[in-house]
């Protein structure tokens, strides 16, 4: 017999199984709690509720551990390519040479968008937020691939390839729309990251120069963002997919969930904060003191993390990449000077050290995107490019689970009790 947990209610005791994961994580299985006791668990934000079992990503927030399918993020960021990680998340194992070559070729041959999709961009205002364009165009792909035939697994895989291939094109065209430049069609002779940078920054009038350091840091950023278990956007993808919505609609829901500043938009808030500090004279130490004063109303963006209570392992990776990249391209951005001063001030302050408030991945990624020339509103789009394979992997995993159910959270009702309708003349 496995371990049991007892929930003591006024009426009686409820005994539940304790579920143990492969890394020793424990959870109390309350699937029949309401059926047997008429009680539910109230957990706003689901901070203590496991909505599923998953074999994709493991996080230990106290120890600063992040692993995809068992592989430490440090090793993947150093040794693998983004498409290798995509395959790993989707398939469960690292690809061999033949598998990676075939996968890469399949992705490469799907990068083009239907010409009718190009016409959609004409309908968006020039100042449309790139996340609005990204979500709209991804959802519209449902209309272009609604006639696929085959078993559901094959259709999902084909649509996964299409999404991985086309999202960089969709994102780059959103940027080109915002600055009034011609759209750049994808090039099949370029790698995944190189092709995206070409579509973003290339122009028809001149040759495009690939900067190796930019390709390297982009590959690392995509990898460290590829999955993060049951975060807001991933949970949203799984919830929408549980209704058996198509993959394009499910991924669109993840894009929309990612948009908010509490999630994927956090790196944008970092840069906006740095801009405000710069406008105020660039005195980073002043804002460090304000962050420690609860009465100031100022919150230091890009420090600490909801899950990681020690350090964010992704931030450790990208911090080094950030400094190397800035040095390699000889970046002379005053805003980045403010960021570096703020980072040093916080890392040497006892208040922050005692509370383990270290710079997180959003702090460094925002700095890198700015140095790359990515406009601030598109930062969250970059996050979406990286997170896509994780979303796909979770959608696939949910469908493969024979016990999957449509998501249907409960609530505790706090509204009016029963009352009679009153005719309008008597109200």
Q: For residue 200, list its beta bridge partners.
A: none
Specify the pLDDT at position 143.
95
Could you read off the pLDDT of 180-193 as tens digits, one per residue? Answer: 999 999 999 999 99
Structure tokens at 164: 């991985």
Catalytic status, residue 305: yes
Structure tokens at 412: 């505790």
Percent of the chain with pLDDT over 90: 66
Active-site residue, from 227, 305, 312, 394: 305
Say how far apart CA 364 and CA 315 lie, in whole Å.
7
Say how far apart CA 255 and CA 260 lie, in whole Å.
10
Residue 1's pLDDT band, with cuts at 50, 70 and 90, is low
**Mean pLDDT score of the chain, rounded to an integer?**
92
Is the pLDDT at 95 greater than 80, yes or no? Answer: yes
Residue 218's pLDDT band, with cuts at 50, 70 and 90, is very high
Instruction: Between 306 and 344, name the one with better pLDDT.
Output: 344
Instruction: Between 315 and 415, name the one with better pLDDT.
Output: 415
Cβ-contact 306, 299 below 8 angstroms: no
**Three-state SS at 391:** helix
Say how far apart CA 164 and CA 106 lie, in whole Å.
10
What is the arithmetic mean of pLDDT over 2-6? 89
DSSP class of residue 128? -
Is the pLDDT at 380 greater than 80, yes or no? Answer: yes
CA of residue 385 relative to chain centroid, distance: 8
Task: Please enumerate in sequence order all residues whose Cβ is within 8 A of that of 173, keeping only pairs 6 or more positions apart, or say none.
Answer: 113, 118, 121, 183, 199
Percent of the chain with pLDDT over 70: 100
Active-site residue, from 225, 227, 228, 362: 362
């Amino acid at each position: 017999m496995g371990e049991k947990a007892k929930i003591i209610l006024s009426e009686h005791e409820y005994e539940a199984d304790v579920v143990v994961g492969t890394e020793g994580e424990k959870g109390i299985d309350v699937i029949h709690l309401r059926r047997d006791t008429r009680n539910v668990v109230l957990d706003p934000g689901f901070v203590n509720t496991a909505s599923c079992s998953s074999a994709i990503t493991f996080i230990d927030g106290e120890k600063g551990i992040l692993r995809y399918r068992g592989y430490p993020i440090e090793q993947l960021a150093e040794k693998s390519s983004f498409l290798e990680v995509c395959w790993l998340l989707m398939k469960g194992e690292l690809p061999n040479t033949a598998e990676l070559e075939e996968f890469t070729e399949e992705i490469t041959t799907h990068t083009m968008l239907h010409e009718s999709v190009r016409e959609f961009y004409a309908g968006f205002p020039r100042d449309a937020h790139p996340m609005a364009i990204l979500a709209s165009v991804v959802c519209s792909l449902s209309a272009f691939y609604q006639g696929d035939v085959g078993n559901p697994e094959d259709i999902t895989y084909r649509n996964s390839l299409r999404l991985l291939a086309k999202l960089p094109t969709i994102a780059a065209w959103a940027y080109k729309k915002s600055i009034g430049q011609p759209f750049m069609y994808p090039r099949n002779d370029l790698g995944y990251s190189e092709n995206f940078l070409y579509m973003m920054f290339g122009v028809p009038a001149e040759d495009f120069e690939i900067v190796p350091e930019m390709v390297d840091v982009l590959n690392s950023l995509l990898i460290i963002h590829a999955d993060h278990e049951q975060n807001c956007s991933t949970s949203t993808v799984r919830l929408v997919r549980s209704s058996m919505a198509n993959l394009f609609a499910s991924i669109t829901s993840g894009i929309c969930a990612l948009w908010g500043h509490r999630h994927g938009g956090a790196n944008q808030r970092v840069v906006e904060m740095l801009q405000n500090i710069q406008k105020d004279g660039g005195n980073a130490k002043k804002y460090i003191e304000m962050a420690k004063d609860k009465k100031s109303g100022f919150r230091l963006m890009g420090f600490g993390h909801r899950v990681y209570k020690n350090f964010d392992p992704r931030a450790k990776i990208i911090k080094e990449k950030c400094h190397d990249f800035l040095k390699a391209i000889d970046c002379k951005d005053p805003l980045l000077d403010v960021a570096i001063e703020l980072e040093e001030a916080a890392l040497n302050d006892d208040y922050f050290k005692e509370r383990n408030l270290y710079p997180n991945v959003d702090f460094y990624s925002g700095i890198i995107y700015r140095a790359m020339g990515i406009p601030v509103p598109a930062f969250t789009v970059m996050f979406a490019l990286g997170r896509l394979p994780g979303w796909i992997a979770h959608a696939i995993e949910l469908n493969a689970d024979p016990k999957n159910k449509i998501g249907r959270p409960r609530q505790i009702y706090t509204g009016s009790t029963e009352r009679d309708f009153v005719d309008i003349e008597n109200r």
